[in-house]
Structure 1
Amino acid sequence: MSAILSADDLNDFISPGVACIKPVELQATETAGEVEIQIDENGKPLQISKIDGKISALAPAQISLSDCLACSGCITSAEEVLVAQHSHDQFLKAIKEGNKTFVASISHQLRVSLAQAYGYSLEEMDRILVHFFKDQMGFAFVVGTALGRKLSLLEESARTIKSKLANGSDHKPILSSICPGWVLYAEKTHPHVLPYLSLVKSPQQITGCLLKSLAAEELGCSRSDIYHLSIMPCFDKKLESARPEEDDASLPGPDVDCVLTAKELVQLLEISDYELIPSKSLDASQPITQLYSSCAPRGWPLKELSWSNDSGSESGGYGYNYIYSMRDYLLKSESSYTAENFSIHQVEGRNSDIHELRLMYDGKKVASAAIVNGFRNIQNLVRKLKPSTGPTVKANPLAARRRARINAKSASSLPSPAPEEAADASKADYVEVMACPSGCINGGGQISRPQEVSEREWLAQAKHLYWNIATADVLEDNSLGDMLRDWSTEFQDKTSLPKARLYDTHFNEVEKPQDAATIMLGSKW
């Protein structure tokens, strides 16, 4: 595990159950017979002999990274689930070996984290990152993840609309799967929600597939000769990149070779001779859009927009994108709909990390999308989606009538309150689910706040910076969406790549441990 991580960094952490504790090896003592375990005033465990009253301190139980990775009983936080091959040490080793051509993709949230930590604007930080990877480290190409994200948004909305129209009132909510922390949690602890998960890949994986293929084509080499570094706000993205493809024969090898977070990038700088911030100011005379174009492969579409933002949320705006896509679809396909009669209502949930967007037409709801962030809200969602089991308990009719009379008498003396509608993600068409509170902008790999700045203020600053990224919505410009769809189809035809290899992921239930001792000691979430 990276030395820069600590328990203080965890914001999506679920405490391990009893089965997660690795027993310590106790040394033999002279104390015999029955003992009692107590906790002293400092919270430390003590062993007290009931025979002679002798007190001895107990060593705390521990859990290591290898124990965590070997266990399938829980999901902790992104910071606890690292993959050794995706460390900054392994990346530097690959650089020194020099037998690969390196390319990088950089997420929106990572750019925000570094700009905030170092006190630069977004444009200044983008220039710094391009200079760092291309000029210092010798990378062939450096791109933003905007292309992969926009293709992911388009595909996600198209599939949700298709499901909604095909199933009507029987449509089940589609849960986003771009957050690997949430996906791992579902696979290990709530397999009943796996049929609800979207099969559309995340921007990281779509970007990786395109970047490796286009870089290899331009440089005249094999995909296996390309080393793709992805810079992300989340440690769990390492595990996402390691998920094997179901159709690996059509395009063998991983689309992402290494994932580093903002924290790890900072640590890399501390142990190497590289410097992120140049000693001299970078030349800013070249327009930033030209810089974006100059560092992308020739076949990369919309080079000037390859670092652009999308409306909706700091996690990519998947729920928002679906709502507006459904509105546009209805306007195009049904002549009875008029734009002025559509409205979008935001309904708040029980806390700031859950809300619902409802597409209304003449006051009637025609589509809805929910945003659910943080494991506390996720647990409530999966609980509502769990199928009911067991026999139905028959109610006592006499008791029911008595309660009804009492309730009616009490209600008659009170004014009738207006009905309140609360956000209910389990009834939405589509749910944007993220493990971290506040979503990806608050990912576990982002740089931590200074001690003098409150967590609320630090997060507010990050969100403000995020929305300073220039937006290029596929929703506002239909030609942009059409062009991207056409380009994607052309790319697949040219490379003989099945659509599923570019867009589809898969999920598997992780079997629970069968060891009797583990089952006996284990605790459920």
Structure 2
Amino acid sequence: MVNFKINDRALSAPKGTTILDAAQKAGIPIPHLCFLKEINEIAACRMCVVEIEGVDRLVPACNTEVLEGMVIRTNSPRVRQARKTNLRLILSQHNSNCTTCVRSGYCELQRLSHDLNIHYQPYDVQPERSRVDLSVPIVREASKCIKCMRCVQVCDKVQGMHIWDVAGTGSRTTVDVSYNRYLKNTACVFCGQCVTHCPTGALTVRDDTNKVLRALADPEITTVVQVAPAVRVAWAEVFGVVNKNKQVPVGKLVAALKRLGFDYVFDTNFTADLTIMEEGSEFIQRFTHRGKYRWPMFTSCCPGWVRFLKTEFPDYTGNLSTAKSPQQMFGAVAKSYFAEKMGIDPHKLCVVSIMPCSAKKAESELPTMHDACGDPDVDVVLTTREMVRLFRSDCIVPSDLAEEPFDSPLGTGTGAAVVFGATGGVMDAALRSAYYLVTGKNPDPDAFEQVRGSKPWKEAAFDIPGAGKVRVAVVSGLANTRKLMEAVDNGEVDYDFVEVMACPGGCAGGGGQPIHEGVEMAASRSSQLWKLDAKAPIRFSHENPDVQALYRAYLKAPLGEKSHHLLHTDHTAWDTALKCMDKGC
């Protein structure tokens, strides 16, 4: 331990503690902008400078360690003036049209300007020219970039994709797509982790709310919306809507979507259960005919992971489950079974998805995702943040609304479905039903707890009577995924079934979820999902009564002819941007 003073307060901390960390633990705020603990500690913004007695220069608190006897001033006149000057210099290269910025109200630069009482700008403002490309889900506006390097570090250290880099020199230094490329010509999987860690509006997810508003306003269009499992535990963080049990009432979310004007509000949990029926059946079929397939079998729910595999490890594309993601299954069922049941022209049915994910936008635009009627199965994908903006723009206050149930018949879900939003949830749900499909009996729904939790790479083995030992793995975050894939490729590990989520912690920490500066919410959101599962009246996907009815009346059987046409896909039938460039297309 070392002893020191901050603002005349005598404190002590373990040797190696930074001034910023020591101050935060003592409840002493120090402004900072670029800092991300253990990810970006490069002191680029100089907002956290402090004064140390006996030291001529101001030092950054984020990467300066406390020393024995150190006397620190965090808000002296010299420090305040330096911070204001540094912030004004940053603002001199920033497009400060805050009223039209999607991050207005929860932008760290905006908040810091307010906190430091910046109310005039003595320097000429010369923002970088922006080149906005709306053909991909991730949008970069160079004029709003403050060169904090967060996106670079998150993409490098957390996701291992190396999409962003420093470009230019001197006063022209900026952050841009690496190797002077367009984003659409890179290996970017559109996970959106760079967006959720950007402190300004320089990186955002493409806004598609106007497409939804046009559909809602068209009297000839029937609008259907589905809500993903991870959305229900995140959307209310913005509104503070919780019930007496401190849980988010999803009924208020349904009511708010109805108030927006949607004709039908459904639960993606329904097709999460459907996914388990198809994917679980596919795994059992492969597992009981091992010699016909290459191993392991990979889940295919996460579009970021699918794009990553096709780009980085294309030889394993055939290992992917052919089952579509729950989002795409829902679109196919809505524009076939539901449209037929309700007597609706599927060409006049607009299917909207509310997802915690930015990569889902790219998935819905794939040429292989239009099996129901020839049109895209899912017309528009909105992130959780876009949905919240729609509520606000329509003056909807969810806490004032009475709860409403999801519509039928595509609104019923089980506990197994709701945990799709957490890392390990797909594997857990699949094993529950795989056990039943082999044995005809339900296992203990908590028998597969080893695949749960926030550990980024989990391994387990389970015995299924009549099938044998199943070796499984669960991984989240693409840097971790790369390590797993390299281990698989090198023969260091041997699995039968692997679940992969591109975002750390799974969909709960997706790139379309509400942003909380400096706080990672995936673990707490996932915990809520597991609690919902534990309290669910039905915890097995194969027991979903509406899924059973769908098979009886329409699909007939998992892996059947109609199921295969609507609910499965050929992952080799489309190319990534890099593959397309190699072919010259």
Which residues of 2 match residues 79-98 of structure 1 at below 5 A?
A: 87-98=208-219
1:379-428 deviation line (CA, Å, top 9, x unaligned): 0122233379xxxxxxxxxxxxxxxxxxxxxxxxxxxxxxxxxxx8x422
The 3 A distance-change label for structure 1 pair 275 and 315 is farther
1:206-238 deviation line (CA, Å, top 9, x unaligned): 112222335533553311111111000000011
Q: CA deviation at 1:486?
A: 5.5
Q: CA deviation at 1:354?
A: 1.1
* Matched residue, 1:346: 450
* Matched residue, 2:565: 501
Partner SS state of residue 324, structure 2: coil
| Correspondence 1:167 to 2:290 | yes
* Matched residue, 1:16: 162
The 3 A distance-change label for structure 1 pair 275 and 466 is farther
* Matched residue, 2:471: 368
Partner SS state of residue 460, structure 2: strand
* Matched residue, 1:41: none
Task: Name the aligned partner's letter for residue 357 of structure 1.
Answer: A
Q: CA deviation at 1:513?
A: 7.0
* Matched residue, 1:510: 576
CA–CA distance in structure 2, aligned partners of residues 373 and 130 of structure 1: 29
| Number of aligned positions between the proteins | 419
CA–CA distance in structure 2, aligned partners of residues 241 and 227 of structure 1: 13
* Matched residue, 1:357: 460
- Please tell me whether the aligned partners of residues 326 and 367 of structure 1 are also in contact (alpha carbons under 8 angstroms): no
Task: Name the aligned partner's letter for residue 506 of structure 2.
Answer: G
Q: Which moved more, 1:123-132 or 1:257-266?
A: 123-132
* Matched residue, 1:106: 227
Which residues of 2 match residues 48-447 of structure 1 at below 5 A?
A: 57-60=171-174, 62-63=176-177, 68-75=182-189, 77-78=191-192, 87-121=208-242, 125-134=249-258, 136-167=259-290, 172-217=295-340, 219-245=342-368, 248=371, 251-270=373-392, 272=393, 274-278=394-398, 281-283=400-402, 291-292=404-405, 295-297=406-408, 300=409, 303=411, 305=413, 309-310=417-418, 314-315=422-423, 317-332=425-440, 346=450, 352-360=455-463, 366-386=469-489, 426-447=493-514
CA–CA distance in structure 2, aligned partners of residues 3 and 430 of structure 1: 40
Partner SS state of residue 467, structure 1: helix
Partner SS state of residue 121, structure 1: coil
Task: Name the aligned partner's letter for residue 553 of structure 2.
Answer: E
The 3 A distance-change label for structure 1 pair 145 and 316 is farther
Task: Name the aligned partner's letter for residue 251 of structure 2.
Answer: R
RMSD of aligned alpha carbons: 4.4
Partner SS state of residue 232, structure 2: helix
- Please tell me whether the aligned partners of residues 181 and 435 of structure 1 are also in contact (alpha carbons under 8 angstroms): yes
Q: CA deviation at 1:153?
A: 0.8
CA–CA distance in structure 2, aligned partners of residues 124 and 384 of structure 1: 40
Q: CA deviation at 1:110?
A: 0.7
Task: Name the aligned partner's letter for residue 281 of structure 1.
Answer: D
CA–CA distance in structure 2, aligned partners of residues 198 and 95 of structure 1: 35
Task: Name the aligned partner's letter for residue 253 of structure 2.
Answer: L
Partner SS state of residue 371, structure 1: strand
Task: Name the aligned partner's letter for residue 102 of structure 1.
Answer: T
- Please tell me whether the aligned partners of residues 372 and 378 of structure 1 are also in contact (alpha carbons under 8 angstroms): yes
Partner SS state of residue 176, structure 2: coil
Q: Which moved more, 1:463-472 or 1:250-259?
A: 463-472
Partner SS state of residue 240, structure 1: helix
1:414-449 deviation line (CA, Å, top 9, x unaligned): xxxxxxxxxx8x422111100011111111111012
Structure possessing the higher radius of gyration over alpha carbons: 1
TM-score (norm 1): 0.67
Q: CA deviation at 1:162?
A: 1.3
CA–CA distance in structure 2, aligned partners of residues 214 and 309 of structure 1: 20
Q: CA deviation at 1:357?
A: 2.7
- Please tell me whether the aligned partners of residues 429 and 541 of structure 2 are also in contact (alpha carbons under 8 angstroms): no
CA–CA distance in structure 1, aligned partners of residues 456 and 205 of structure 2: 32
CA–CA distance in structure 1, aligned partners of residues 304 and 190 of structure 2: 9
CA–CA distance in structure 1, aligned partners of residues 395 and 331 of structure 2: 26
Task: Name the aligned partner's letter for residue 354 of structure 1.
Answer: W
Task: Name the aligned partner's letter for residue 463 of structure 1.
Answer: S
CA–CA distance in structure 1, aligned partners of residues 217 and 546 of structure 2: 40
CA–CA distance in structure 1, aligned partners of residues 167 and 579 of structure 2: 17
Q: CA deviation at 1:373?
A: 0.5
Q: Which moved more, 1:80-89 or 1:461-470?
A: 80-89
CA–CA distance in structure 1, aligned partners of residues 412 and 496 of structure 2: 33
- Please tell me whether the aligned partners of residues 109 and 441 of structure 1 are also in contact (alpha carbons under 8 angstroms): yes
- Which consecutive unaligned segments of at least 5 residues does structure 2 have? 1-99, 104-138, 140-144, 196-202
Q: CA deviation at 1:261?
A: 0.8
Task: Name the aligned partner's letter for residue 268 of structure 2.
Answer: T
- Please tell me whether the aligned partners of residues 230 and 256 of structure 1 are also in contact (alpha carbons under 8 angstroms): yes
* Matched residue, 1:54: none
* Matched residue, 1:413: none
